[in-house]
Structure 1
């Protein structure tokens, strides 16, 4: 029996560790041998759990965010974190701000790593030295934030068996969907970035239409779909279902936009839409 992980080996925004046990219950309704396609593979946790429980199933893991590349560099990441851990020592209490010369030494060590090896796992690094749930993808962006001593006391396990047995692809979810949509009995695992949440660490840009496009893969297929109450996607679909004849009320209207700035790094776009119907 292979080891089953209930959380991903490395930090990943939106991994489903809190729903892992409930997801396992859902999988019980499908026979071993079912084809599962994880369209938004993320950390690979859903794919890993599925393959662990359904060893005779083919499980397609769409690693669009290249999580396996991060895992490959776990030894390098552990060494970087070990060096930062040694720098901090007992000089800064846990979860307290790192300031002054020590802060600059940490940035110098990160820059040295990036210049010498060409790679830094900024997502994993962020979880150790930034405020909880803040993730930055460069030293430049990290410098805009306060550093905190949230450094793990031990390194990350390499978990070489974590992705074992999965068929791994890396492409747009629509391409993966079209490849498998006509196979009888296929089950799609659908865990897109959530609407109204930060998607800055994903290898994609999403707007409202992108979130709604995902719903096309649900029609006529078995699926396990994930969302949150932040997205209001269920309420939106329920409302559309009750107002099927509305169509697009903004069709053929005129739109006026105004770019508003709240401060140096925060802005939004105000919109005015108008249409005069024939009398």
Structure 2
């Protein structure tokens, strides 16, 4: 019984260290700063490895860094699975279900993919160079340690339906403009706009305001369609930008409303929160 309580105490402590719930705890700060430095070093090494001269000169150092990183990231993933029952979102679940639910979350999936190169190499299924994309996924682990990225992710999640609607509208506009361009230009440029799929490439490049210039209209009707498409492209880009830009403000307002409603129901809680704010 005492051993089980001790294990749960350590699990709680490790959870606070990993999720930075221990305030200014030096161990938590050291772990987070060390992991951030390790992730940055990994991404930098992956980029530098693509330069032949640097790879030839520092190859052994890059290999050593990769090996150490894989071991540490694997230990981190295992530790996060172990402490998953302490997470507020999974605390009501049994330990096994909590760990399974955490393993299905996006941060856990990124952590797992960051450790897969070790398994592949151990099984002889490929060398580290062929697993470049899996190694680069470690960059997204930084999102766990950045409040700004966490806020952006929350904003994107809150506005996911509106953003998906924007994507659907973009696909519809692309299809319509591509069809129009095909109708007016297929005889003049059968090699470039002879089919609707060919015209869809031109449409998406124009709507996104990239404009490579490899395909352009040469007829008067085609130029008119291109002009309208270019203007629609500005509108299509402005829609998601406006949605994402206003999302944090909406979340802040909702949080304030929830806080006011909560404190109105419990004046003692409001007084306690104000006291904590003064003492902070």
Bin of the TM-score, shorter chain as denominator length: under 0.3
Bigger share in helix: 2
Bigger share in strand: 1
| TM norm structure 2 | 0.21
Q: Which has the higher Rg, Structure 1 or Structure 2?
A: 2
Higher relative contact order (CA 8 A, sep 6+): 1
